[in-house]
Structure 1
């Protein structure tokens, strides 16, 4: 399923955080949101998974306003991994992941064979099958992150919305997670701080700055030295990765470009 965000305006705590955002997450593609801290990435994602209601504009799922769906029906289509991970669950890992099956159940219904198979597969996908019987509270931060991602997979959604999914993961598990996302070819909208990870895994990038989408397109077209200076305030070169051929951003740590300027780039079209 495709996500279309049309002229989205979102306010949070009395302040406009996203202003006039237009972008697309195409079916089967990984679409990345990048930008400095405070640029509106998380707020935009919260609107997609219905944690926030927009002041104006719409989020469309396969052409229909997502807010017109019931919460249960919406949860069958869209699964989210937010930055706020929730409290400590007094549950086993398997029980936490099984929570992802809730949209498919009647109240108080137990797990059936399909549920158990889906949960087992999700745990295997994130490399946590052997921890299924452990308590969630006994896990490290990175292990918890993978379990919560498995819970999102267990929803069997058409769309994944992931806010900084590589947080707390070591390098190996970051690489494995990004490879898993690419292999699934599920419509995915993801925010990433690591720009090199974003250029490697994403089919399309949308760059946010001060709540506005200032550039959109394939990573090789979007990530330029000029954008790195204007939006992120750093001096950088963009070269080919020696192993993959993906765009690789090399930062000049000795001569930073200075503070980011106000948005000066023409907003990219999300077509």
Structure 2
């Protein structure tokens, strides 16, 4: 297992600073969450980790290696991403999409070997899509596509997983299954989540972002306080113990926002 370190990250887009001085650490095997309101910089941080964006300053290290200094294929063996933007529909079968995760390990025009086939089969099984291996990717529901793309990331066998809102489009059962799978899988992971109760359940540590900066970091129980939820998210809430798991459980007041917030 590897350590991920995002050090003093600054990102400027169209002349505007969208991330300023962000430092995020994920120890070997840790699941670390990024939470915060829309526009706080969560996705921007993730995009720099999987090299979709080049930072203005700062660096991203896997152990002690700067991902920007690696060849693309080597970087892909270290970091796999499930981004929010999915791109155009693949005109491929489900198994073919998952097999794309093996590309960083293959020479040009090299075919699959027995190891590849086993890894692909295992990835499909892990996300519950074995029975859909022969279906066209474009025929799947949004939630099914999400699971196939996660299987592709698993097939990549990275040191670090980067997941941007991985529970989007999933029904409750598959949300629970996916988050449980992340905990069982136990690769180092950096995850952006809107669902704070999911974040409190699955993440070992959280970094709260607001206006492009980290405003709080720590264990979910220490970070997710009523005061922070009011100040950063503008909501009235109380934090109690989940009677099933003992994790922090946030109960929101859906009738009105926090006093004095927009």
Shorter-normalised TM range:
over 0.9
Query: Normalising by the residue count of structure 1, what TM-score does the alignment of the two structures yield?
Result: 0.94
| Structure 1 residue 249 corresponds to structure 2 residue 250 | yes
- Using the alignment, how far apart are the partners of 1:257 and 1:36 within structure 2? 14
- 1:22-47 Cα offsets, whole Å, 9 max, x none, are 11011101000000000000000000
Name stretches of at least 5 consecutive residues in structure 1 with no aligned partner: 262-271
Q: Any conservation in 2 of the 1:7–1:20 contact (CA below 8 Å)?
A: yes
- Using the alignment, how far apart are the partners of 1:260 and 1:228 within structure 2? 11
Query: 1:232 matched to which residue of 2?
Result: 233
- 1:61-115 Cα offsets, whole Å, 9 max, x none, are 1022111111100100110000001211111000000000000000111111111
Note the 1:137-152 alignment, pairs <5 A: 137-152=138-153
- Using the alignment, how far apart are the partners of 1:30 and 1:208 within structure 2? 17
The alignment partner of 1:169 has SS state of: coil
Query: 1:95 matched to which residue of 2?
Result: 96
Q: Any conservation in 2 of the 1:164–1:191 contact (CA below 8 Å)?
A: yes
- Using the alignment, how far apart are the partners of 1:260 and 1:243 within structure 2? 32
- Using the alignment, how far apart are the partners of 2:211 and 2:66 within structure 1? 25
Distance 1:133 1:186, change over 3 A: same
Query: 2:155 matched to which residue of 1?
Result: 154
Offset at residue 260 of structure 1 (A): 5.1
Query: Aligned pairs, how many?
Result: 261
Name stretches of at least 5 consecutive residues in structure 2 with no aligned partner: none
Q: CA RMSD in A?
A: 1.0
Runs of 4 or more consecutive aligned structure 1 residues displaced over 4 Å after TM superposition:
258-261
Query: 1:200 matched to which residue of 2?
Result: 201
Query: 2:49 matched to which residue of 1?
Result: 48
Note the 1:1-271 alignment, pairs <5 A: 1-258=2-259
The alignment partner of 1:23 has SS state of: strand
- Using the alignment, how far apart are the partners of 2:228 and 2:261 within structure 1? 10
Query: 1:269 matched to which residue of 2?
Result: none
Q: Any conservation in 2 of the 1:231–1:260 contact (CA below 8 Å)?
A: no
Distance 1:211 1:9, change over 3 A: same
Query: Normalising by the residue count of structure 2, what TM-score does the alignment of the two structures yield?
Result: 0.98
The alignment partner of 2:194 has SS state of: coil
Offset at residue 255 of structure 1 (A): 3.4
